[in-house]
A and B are shown apart, each in its own frame.
Chain A
Amino acid sequence: MSDATANGIADAAAARKPRRDIGIKKRYAAERRFKAYGIIAIAIGLAFLVALMWSIVSQGYTAFWQTEIEVPISFSEKVLGTPEQANESQTKLLMANYPQLARDGLVQLLGIDPADKKAVSAANGLISSGTRVTLRDIVMNDLSVIGTTEDVWLYASSELDSALKGQYDLDVPENRRPISDLQLQYIEKLRQQGAIEQRFNWGLFTSGASSRAETAGVGVAIIGSLYMMLIVLALALPIGVAASIYLEEFAPKNRFTDLIEVNINNLAAVPSIVFGLLGLAVFINWFGLPRSAALVGGLVLTLMTLPTIIIATRAALRAVPPSIRSAALGLGASKTQTIFHHVLPLAAPGILTGTIIGLAQALGETAPLLLIGMVAFVADYPSTPLDPSTALPVQIYMWANEAERAFVERTSGAIIILLGFLAIMNVTAILLRRRFERRW
């Protein structure tokens, strides 16, 4: 019985007209091939990303450590004057020869004959001339240290730092490397005494611009970038959202609004340096705003970010299902009530994501800032957005132009800091999206 059925089916299959060969095997092969292309494309992308991250991290991670030397400093009255004198006038205290204190301390620590000029000079080359500020701050904060001796951690010079980090080839002849044999002996001696150490480089985050690598940091640049981000957020978000709501919900559809729409989309594609030129011409030359100021930078970046925010917001508004609008309108809500009570809250995650991505873009922007003078040597913190400051990407650009070996690692270090901020912002965008996303 079952045999008969099986035969019947076989007969029926044989009787059927043979189909044209549609290349099933080829079709499967094409599918497999296409999948392989996709995997190769992703692998290439990942390889580039890994190479980029590797080169930055491997060059930059050392920037987060800085060699310091513990030197017994005797805050002698001979150099600083007495505390009584200091109370009367701080001029002497500000102008005092602090490097001499550091030099004397080191000479004593290494047991060098102070009369041996050459040895003293070699030892002095081991500590940063930035010690002036370190020691002055200690004294200015607490006058009672005058006349006492204290162990102080001082920044080592960038040559010593680079040598210890293995960035110099020490096998080449002495006259062809920036650190001498004598200095190497001193370093060895200090190491045996436990007076030399690699410590976490807080200065990288807190200091401003400096021509000495060991005292240079991105502090001013971070503050400048922060001011600019706040300005961009405060201006671009409300303007962008208001413009999108009007265009998406209220504006009549005519040639004029079409023109505006096309222009907004075009603005998103305008090279950022053009916005810098505009900022220079309008904000600085015409409005007379100060150069190098975070305010001008923020305004320029606002212009640059607006199209991104408008496009994202309009997409988010359009994604709200029409049934929600109908429901609200059907209940007798006005158009404005419908938008503000229902549409906007539902579009909020999309708007926030767009805004944060726009901000991240603005944070990494360099070109327009170069034109408005934010590429400047700013050592002091800007107290308002009107003071000169720099921005993180500009600081990176400036350090990349420095020749010294220690600036190379700092450049990569600053890139890591910038990437860190960008990663934080993008993760925030994703989290906000997850948190507020609602289903309907």
Chain B
Amino acid sequence: MMENIQATLYKGPAVEASRPIKMSSKDVTVHYGQKQALNGITLDIPERQVTALIGPSGCGKSTYLRCLNRMNDTIDIARVGGEILLDGEDIYDPDIDVVELRARVGMVFQKPNPFPKSIYENVSYGPKIHGLAHSRQEMDEIVHTSLRKAGLWREVHDRLDEPGTGLSGGQQQRLCIARAIAVSPEVILMDEPCSALDPIATATVEELIDELRENYTIVIVTHSMQQAARVSQLTAMFHLGDLAEVGPTEKMFSNPDDKRTQDYITGRFG
């Protein structure tokens, strides 16, 4: 089945064929009420790579991202069509538990949104509701590892009891990443994770994303083409609800096939 999908989906140039496909979507459409926001997106997301979604404002890249862990379910007027597979399983299957899905597909948002609780509670919340820890020691272990993986441990290890909202913007965003990592997801979705951060914090988070690539499949929506170029291996260009082009990042930024991609990258619109 996997080969079948891969065969039908690849329209653009082959993307590192060696990488297995983690998530694949076929003809994904989204309607907000009467308005169609996505016109049939067909895209494969390779495992343990960073896939960047770029495109001008309102092109549907965030909408697409939110389909991948069914966050659009929370919007009453949103309707999602088509098929999205995670490891070959349809995530919109009525038998799929959305809670389970979101444990496998974590999310980091545009604005850092730590809970107004302590740093420890922020990270431990996910494992707690999913029952990942059987004892206080196990929970401590999860929290410590997650913070370490998110590169925040050194800065906060002596003040885990302090509120997460008291950290700086960049630290808050890394705390949100630690919170997402704590439930051991397979895929992490990031919706413009650096747009509210200063350049230095952005650099730290980008380094972190690069490190996380070893263990997680990452899909990142970004407004900054430089960021897409720096962190991603695969880039998908969205335009007015369509997938304009998808290809290896290097090629996308040096020699795009699509006129729209070329115009966007050279700054003619966007």
On A, residues with C-beta under 8 Å from B are 252-253, 321, 323-334, 337, 341-342, 346, 438-440
CB <8 Å contact, B71 and A337: no
- In the bound complex, how far is the Cα of B3 from the Cα of A403, in angstroms? 98
Q: Does B227 contact A (CB under 8 A)?
A: no
Q: Which of B109, B116, B165 is the one whose CB lies under 8 Å from A330?
A: B109
CB <8 Å contact, B99 and A332: yes
Chain B contacts of A346 at CB under 8 A? 116
- Known contacts A327-B114, A333-B99, A341-B125; 20 additional CB pairs below 8 A are A253-B76, A324-B115, A326-B109, A326-B113, A328-B125, A329-B74, A330-B102, A330-B109, A330-B180, A331-B103, A331-B125, A331-B180, A331-B183, A332-B129, A333-B125, A334-B99, A346-B116, A438-B165, A439-B116, A439-B165
Task: Please encode chain B, from 67 to 89, with 1 for each CB lying within 8 Å of some chain A CB and 0 for all others.
Answer: 00101001010000000000000
> Counting chain A CB atoms within 10 Å of each CB, which of B99, B100, B106, B111 scores highest?
B99
Q: Which of B74, B76, B102, B116 is the one whose CB lies under 8 Å from A331?
A: B102
- In the bound complex, how far is the Cα of B114 from the Cα of A346, in angstroms? 13
Shortest C-beta distance, B32 to chain A (Å), equals 15
CB <8 Å contact, B126 and A331: yes
Q: Does B205 contact A (CB under 8 A)?
A: no
Chain A contacts of B106 at CB under 8 A? 330-331
CB <8 Å contact, A332 and B125: no
Number of A-B residue pairs at CB separation under 8 A: 67
- In the bound complex, how far is the Cα of B176 from the Cα of A324, in angstroms? 11
> Counting chain B CB atoms within 10 Å of each CB, which of A328, A330, A342 scores highest?
A330
Q: Does B130 contact A (CB under 8 A)?
A: yes
Instruction: Say yes or no: A337-B109 contact (C-beta < 8 A), given A326-B71, A331-B102, A346-B116.
Output: no
- Please name 24 pairs of A and B residues whose Cβ atoms are closer than 8 Å in the assembled complex, sorted by A: A253-B76, A323-B109, A324-B115, A324-B116, A326-B107, A326-B109, A326-B113, A327-B179, A329-B74, A330-B102, A330-B106, A330-B109, A331-B102, A331-B126, A331-B129, A331-B179, A331-B180, A332-B101, A332-B126, A332-B183, A333-B125, A337-B129, A341-B129, A439-B116
Chain B contacts of A329 at CB under 8 A? 71, 74, 102
Chain A contacts of B180 at CB under 8 A? 330-331
- In the bound complex, how far is the Cα of B84 from the Cα of A114, in angstroms? 108
Q: Which of A253, A324, A332, A439 is the one whose CB lies under 8 Å from B113?
A: A324
CB <8 Å contact, B116 and A332: no
Which B residue's beta carbon lies closest to that of A329? B74
- In the bound complex, how far is the Cα of B190 from the Cα of A330, in angstroms? 11
Q: Which of A253, A327, A332, A337 is the one whose CB lies under 8 Å from B176?
A: A327
